[in-house]
Structure formats: C-alpha cells, structure tokens
Chains A and B, each alone.
Chain A
C-alpha cells in the first residue's frame, strides 16, 4: 500500500522573491505587498481576470500554484477528482478579516466577507485548474512538514488522491510566505523524494542542495 512519492515541483514566494525548484525566477524589492503580487502576475505573463478580484492571501497562494504547475504538471495524466490540495498557515485569513471588519463600520462588504475563510485560496486554485479531489486547510503556528508529509502520504497511499499540491500559504500585513510542493507518484526530472526533510529544506533554504 505504501507508494513511492516525489516532490516533482516546488515553488517558494517570500521576501520579494520567487523561486521554483531552487532557481531564482523573479525579484522585486521596490513594491508593497499588493504591488509585489501584481508584479509577479505580470512578470509571468498570466492572463486570468479573476486574479484582480482575489484578496492578497488568495493572490499569493494562487500565483504560487500557477508557477508551481507551469511546464511541470501533466494535468491530462489525472482525473480531476484525483488531484487535491492540502494547505496550511498560521493566521488563517486574518489579513482580510481586518479589512472586512473595517468595512462593517460603514457598509459590510460581501466581496471581502467571502475571503474571510482560509480555504478560499484552495477554491481559487481548484476553479483555475478544475481540481476536484480532496482539499483541506489546517492551521499551525509554524510550517508543520511532519504533519503534511504524513497526511498527504496517507491520501496518496490509500489512492484517495494520485497527485497533491501541499504546503504553506501565509500572508498578514507586510509579511508573506508561500511554499507549495507538487507531490506525485511518478518521478519527474526535477523530482526528489517526498519527505519532511526535503520540504523543510526548500521552505528554509529554497533548494535541496
């Protein structure tokens, strides 16, 4: 029942930079958080009008998923219900919660309210890619690679999923970090084995070696 599992792609967005599989792809040190996210969107030449409606947490997670999957994922190899997402962060949707609460004093904004749930970022990624498998959002005070490894492994080993995007999407005020990992049972060119050590190494040092 235990299947071989690999990280076939990894994307890290933090501290004004975008890394994919250890390679620095983009830097923009001169922008605030919304400006940085918009510059990433433009740099990677993505055309998706929903992006402009998203809150900052969703923009961050969604951009990380776009870069993670681009040229690295053969979606056609899978049925939509076999691809899932297991995401986590520390402060849930607090960044947008504050903005929504500010709107309540005037006119409560339904557009902001819908983003006051952390799993909306998961929904945005599913809508974009037609992923219909199991998704879940967990909240830990810091990135818990041990939990993610065990949970995602059990979903893949039991054939609940065949491919899974997992990791961390955190944004609060000026601080942000997304670290997403594509986990598959097929070994690709960039693949390393799916372990908590490899996830932590990418999370902290951007690359394995």
Chain B
C-alpha cells in the first residue's frame, strides 16, 4: 500500500483562524470557552466556545450559510498552503458534520426548499462548486467520531487507488437545536469542562471547522503520515458508552495492527475526553486495556469545547503539530485524577522526541474510532 501523507491543514476556531495561530494559543493555555447569555440559543447562561464574528468568506449574495462559510474558509486556507488542485480528477472532497444546516429549522419555516437546503449533500455540493472540485463529494455523518472517520475514509480512498488526494473538512455550528439537546441530557457542565478530572461534570460545546489534506504523492509530503486506523461499535447502548471499554480498546488494537506498530511505539495520545463522567471513565478503561496507561494523554476539550463533526479533525491537526514541534499540549481543566484506571494525563507542556501519536474518539450510537499519525 502507498503511504498517505498529510499535505496541509487548517483549524478555524474561536481562538484562531489558522493552525499556527491555534497552536500558538494552545501553548499559552488560551481557551475559547466563555460564559454566554444568548437567548436565541438558551434561556439560561451557558459556557461554550463560540465565534464572535459572523462572516467568514466574501458572500455578498448571502448564498452560503454559516456552516458552509466555516467549511469554505477552512478549506480555502488549507488549499492555499498546498499544491493540491481541487479541480484535479484525482482529488476528492470529504465533508464531516453531525448537524450541518440544522439551525435552518429554527429560523425558517419548513418547506421543500428548506428541506433540500438542510440536507448535507446540498451543502457539500455548494462547497465543491465553490472550489471547483470535479468529483462528487463524500459526506460522513457518524456522530462524534465523524472527523476521524472522514480521515480514515480519505486514507482508504487513497490506499485503494481511487484518488490521489483527499481534502477532508469538518464543521458544526452551535444552534439551539444542539445546545438544548445536550441540556436535555443534563450533559452540559455548569462551567468550563474538566476532562478526566475527579470533579468533571459534563461537556462544553464549541463551534469550529478544520481541514486536512491527504495525498499519496510523496512530493507533497510535509513530514507526517496517516499510518492506519479502525472503527468499532459497542453493541451495547445508543447513548451511553460501553461499560467495559473493550470495543474502544478493540479499535485501538486494530489501529496499531493496521499501522504495524506496538503499544510501546505510541508516544502520546489525544483522547476524546469529553468530560462526562461515563465517557472519560470508559476511555481510561479502554486505554488501560490497550496497555497504554503510562503514555502521556491529553484532551483538548478544555480549549475548544466539543466541536462535534469538527472535533476529530481539530484534535488530529493539533496532534500532528505536536509531532512536528515535539510539544504535547496539556489538558486544560484537569486537576486531579478522576477515573478508576488512572491515566498519565498531560498537565504541562511536554517536550520530547515524539514519533507516533494515537487519536481516539467515541460517540452516540456506540461508535469508537482511532487513528495513528507518525513522522516519516
């Protein structure tokens, strides 16, 4: 199989509109999570990482929704920093989102036009046309693992020889739909979230977009490869994580096999770390089952909140730059171990000589995903 190289990337978040700006902010422990009181979103004040700007691209005809603008601004920056041509027949666009344009249900009266406008393929088509992609875009919508799944989809479409390049972009906006849903689950923390901490009490939501460009062409390589990945299902519950962590462990083990690596080769882990009681407990168990409990691990939810369909991409890109800069970002919000199986939670900027990074995620529907990035 050919290698799959990371060519370019972008993180568009409330703490910065480029990857380098984001990584700089993370090194300074800057978080995008703030207290908001916006009655269009919630009657009660809430903590979340939200953009304070509205326009992200030039759109004088008001043709594009906020969701589409986020994707376009992120893809635009990533493409500009690569030699990959969107109009090449060997290039495919992959979009990751959980809810896309769902906020139109809040602001528009429902009719067939709005129904089509909400459908994810309609957004994907607009984004593809904006950049001149020739091939039909692929849309992944698989709950909170969508971002990692989109990377794996891109990797496989390249490995199978169908395409040479994949532009993988994810975004979600925080609407009343999404916020009220997590509130109804009593899953929102009353303050900024505290991943893996003994006092963790729920998630903070966040909005953002991110883009990773993959290529099989070594001339596009920038030093990091996608080595392999895997997805599993708990087959246990649609909204609660596995009690045993065996299935996330299965995804991790298969990922290591796929990457031809051993647990001892992993230098650090970027966990999902949503800061709910049950997710973090399950992840700590799974990481321990996979014999990775001594490996430095972080969660980035304390900076970005849970950015849903963008989360796997944003956190993967931070991990890729951690490999490049040999610097692992600490877990903001963590203070004291709060899982039955203690992990080696990264609490300060960690320097070292890092080669291989494991990124994991889990989501509603019982899904788990893992991917490994390595220096060439």
Contacts and interface: CB of A to CB of B under 8 A. Distances in A.
A154 interface: yes
A136 B142 contact: yes
Contacts of A113: 180-182, 184-185
B365 A138 contact: no
B105 interface: yes
Contact of A134 (B115, B230, B365): B230
Given A81-B232, A135-B233, A150 B115 contact: no
B239 interface: yes
Contacts of A134: 230-232
A39 interface: no
Contacts of A22: none
A132 B233 contact: yes
Interface of A: 80-81, 84-85, 90-92, 94, 97-98, 100-101, 104, 107-110, 113-114, 116-120, 122-124, 126-127, 129-141, 144, 147, 150-151, 154-155, 160, 172
Interface string B153-187: 10011011010000000000000110011111100
Given A98-B110, A151-B156, A117 B141 contact: yes
Given A123-B366, A134-B231, 5 more contacts: A97-B99, A113-B180, A120-B238, A135-B233, A160-B258
A107 B185 CA distance: 12
B238 A133 contact: no
B119 A131 contact: no
Contact of A123 (B122, B149, B364): B364
A153 B106 CA distance: 40
Contacts of B98: 117
Nearest to B186: A110
B102 interface: yes
B138 interface: yes
B141 A116 contact: no
The 7 A-B residue pairs with the shortest CB-CB distance, nearest first, are A123-B365, A113-B181, A108-B184, A141-B121, A139-B139, A126-B235, A110-B184
Interface residues of B, number: 55
A117 B230 contact: no
Nearest to A50: B238
A135 B153 CA distance: 12
A136 B231 contact: yes
B197 interface: no
A84 B106 CA distance: 35
A137 B140 CA distance: 6
A92 B157 CA distance: 22
Contacts of B291: none
Contact of B177 (A90, A101, A133, A138): A101
Contacts of A124: 238
A81 B250 contact: yes
A131 B233 contact: yes
A182 to B, nearest CB: 17
**Chief secondary structure at chain A's binding surface:** mixed
Given A113-B181, A134-B230, A154-B160, A119 B250 contact: no
Residue of A120, A138, A155 contacting most chain B CB atoms (<10 Å):
A138
B365 A117 contact: yes
Residue of A119, A151, A155 contacting most chain B CB atoms (<10 Å):
A119
A92 B232 contact: no
18 contacts: A94-B119, A97-B102, A104-B180, A107-B184, A110-B184, A113-B181, A113-B182, A122-B367, A132-B233, A132-B234, A132-B235, A134-B232, A135-B142, A135-B367, A137-B142, A141-B122, A150-B162, A151-B153
Interface string B107-127: 000100001001111100100
B9 interface: no
Contacts of B176: 104
B168 to A, nearest CB: 14
B237 interface: yes
Given A98-B110, A119-B142, A135 B119 contact: no
A122 B233 contact: yes
Contacts of B141: 92, 117-119, 137-139
B139 A119 contact: no
A147 to B, nearest CB: 7
A140 B128 CA distance: 14
A198 to B, nearest CB: 20
A77 to B, nearest CB: 17
Contacts of A97: 99, 102, 105, 118, 177
Contact of A120 (B106, B125, B162, B364): B364
A77 B138 CA distance: 33
Contacts of B183: 108
B113 to A, nearest CB: 14
